[in-house]
Structure 1
Amino acid sequence: MNFSIARRRMVERQVQGQGVKDPRVIEAMLQIPRHLFVEEAFQSQAYGDFSLPIGDRQTISQPSTVGVMTEALLLQGGERVLEIGTGSGYQAAILSRIAGKVYTLERIALLARRARRVIDSLGCVNVNIRVTDGTQGWDEEAPFDAIIVTAGAPSVPDQYRDQLAIGGRLVIPVGNRGDQVLMRITKVAEGQFTEERLIDCRFVPLIGRHGWQEGES
């Protein structure tokens, strides 16, 4: 399989086809080889527009969703970005090609180790991975210009709002365990936020102290 051709088709048909226009996002998704972030058995499917399992009941998001969410952050280049839910590491790698620094949190150590190996192999030297409860954010490194959450939350944790810089954007799926709405929340001043509903979506649940609890429905 020619992965380069498959990746270009993915970007043209699935990412740009979903209305993503930001040239920074398009170029990043052309550069990052999605097939490296899935198990070898799934590599032939890596450029289809669907999620794939990565172990521990987690998934790598479909390419169109990655494109939409990345564009929704409104990155100009050079920002400090926090990602909640490293998973395979694919989203963090995409962000690394646009942002100045990427801080990403993963609660499952095995996934974090796998992601670290692939990210390092691609030379993404501006990605910092931490194994912890992502619902608490990364207070020591705050404030962030943008925060992206790659799991569905029952509500927006206050920690994320607090850790945004003035003018910063938070992109997060909010809803029940089965269906969510992708929200963009902008911090316009201390304690003041605007909220936008972007698209309907479906993510694995955000597990942690300020999200869903294990086994909770």
Structure 2
Amino acid sequence: MTLDFAKAREAMVEQQIRPWDVLDVRVLNVLLRMPREAYAPAAHRALAYADIALPLAHGESMMKPVVEGRALQALALDGSEDVLEIGTGGGFMAACLGRLARSVTTIERHADLAAGAQATLLAQGATSVSVEHADAFAWEPGRQFDAICVTGAVDTVPERFLGWLRPGGRMFIVHGHAPAMEALLVHADVNGPRIESLFETELAYLAGAAPVPAFAF
């Protein structure tokens, strides 16, 4: 029996995404049309629309669909923005961002994941997305962005990420300590960063952004 991905996609939107207060029509339309299974690892394709984080290579993972939906809605993209994604993974979020913004640069520290995502994005016609193999804590973009989406958690919000936001820009990021991490929308206001709390969740830490272990006697 072959899985009807279109029906699974519709069920995901109606039973997971909408009930989690994702009501932005543009976001819902992208999630209804985007073939998430194309970006999922072959071994887990049948679970592409399940309410779980899907494992990728190197201990990375695709975020839960509900978290992806909330992140896309929080960024409130209107199609005019240049967006940076930190942590490409399989490329699904980059593809969604590419449908909602003008252009997307996405960085991935694992060369094989970056190459795989780039191949999938090209095969799916995501021409507004460019993938770079880079570590967020060593990379210098040489420019600023209207919006940033960070797909791994941080202990504290890195200053370097804030510096990559244009005035008036915003960043979706998850911070804190498991299991009670907090998703934030950080606004680059004139008087400095303004932080909006969105919801509680839990993500794996970005490499280099985990809390320093406390010394125990």
Using the TM superposition, give the Cα deviation of residue 117 of structure 1 relative to its aligned residue in structure 2, in angstroms.
1.1
Indicate the residue corresponding to 1:56 in structure 2: 58
* CA–CA distance in structure 1, aligned partners of residues 34 and 140 of structure 2: 26
Indicate the residue corresponding to 1:180 in structure 2: 181
CA distance 1:24–1:86, change in 2 (3 Å): same
CA distance 1:137–1:101, change in 2 (3 Å): farther
| Runs of 4+ residues over 4 Å off in structure 1 | none
CA distance 1:43–1:80, change in 2 (3 Å): same
Partner AA of 1:166 in structure 2: P
Using the TM superposition, give the Cα deviation of residue 212 of structure 1 relative to its aligned residue in structure 2, in angstroms.
3.1
* CA–CA distance in structure 1, aligned partners of residues 129 and 168 of structure 2: 22
Partner AA of 1:212 in structure 2: A
Question: When the two structures are superposed, what TM-score results if normalisation uses the length of structure 1?
Answer: 0.92
Describe the superposition over 1:85-109 as per-residue Cα deviations: whole angstroms up to 9, x where unpaired. 0011110011011110001111111
Indicate the residue corresponding to 1:139 in structure 2: 141
* CA–CA distance in structure 2, aligned partners of residues 22 and 100 of structure 1: 18
Indicate the residue corresponding to 2:210 in structure 1: 212
Q: Which runs of 5+ in 2 are unaligned?
A: none
Indicate the residue corresponding to 1:153 in structure 2: 154
Partner AA of 1:115 in structure 2: A
1:99 and 2:101 are equivalent in the alignment: yes
Contact 1:84/1:106, CA 8 A, preserved across alignment:
yes
Contact 1:169/1:185, CA 8 A, preserved across alignment:
yes
Describe the superposition over 1:95-134 as per-residue Cα deviations: whole angstroms up to 9, x where unpaired. 0111100011111111111111111111000111111112
Q: CA RMSD in A?
A: 1.7
2:127 partner SS: coil
Q: 1:128 aligns with which of 125, 130, 133?
A: 130
Aligned length: 212
Question: When the two structures are superposed, what TM-score results if normalisation uses the length of structure 2?
Answer: 0.92
1:201 and 2:201 are equivalent in the alignment: yes
Using the TM superposition, give the Cα deviation of residue 78 of structure 1 relative to its aligned residue in structure 2, in angstroms.
2.2
* CA–CA distance in structure 2, aligned partners of residues 72 and 204 of structure 1: 20
Q: Percent identity between the aligned chains?
A: 33
